[in-house]
Amino acid sequence: MEIIGEAVKNLSLELKNNHSVVSWREIAGFRDKLIHHYFGIDYELVWEVIQNEIPDLLTNVTKILQAENI
């Protein structure tokens, strides 16, 4: 999740605006909380994200890559 969050920060604003179906800001913010241990790490939340959010993110990013011919 660290790598995903860091990668999101390096995407262009144009790409993020064109594909707002993904919660780019939330992904980057979650990465920051995880890495910097703000208020401790909620392992249940991390597991929930892995189970419920990552599969949807993968689907959306795959569609974005196809749409952008990347």
Q: Residue 21's closest CA among 69, 66, 63?
A: 63
Is 19 tagged catalytic?
Answer: no
Is 31 tagged catalytic?
Answer: yes
Q: Which residues touch 20 (CB under 8 Å, ≥6 apart)?
A: none
Catalytic residue among 19, 25, 36, 37: 36
Instruction: Return the SS3 of 55.
Output: helix
Catalytic residues: 31, 36
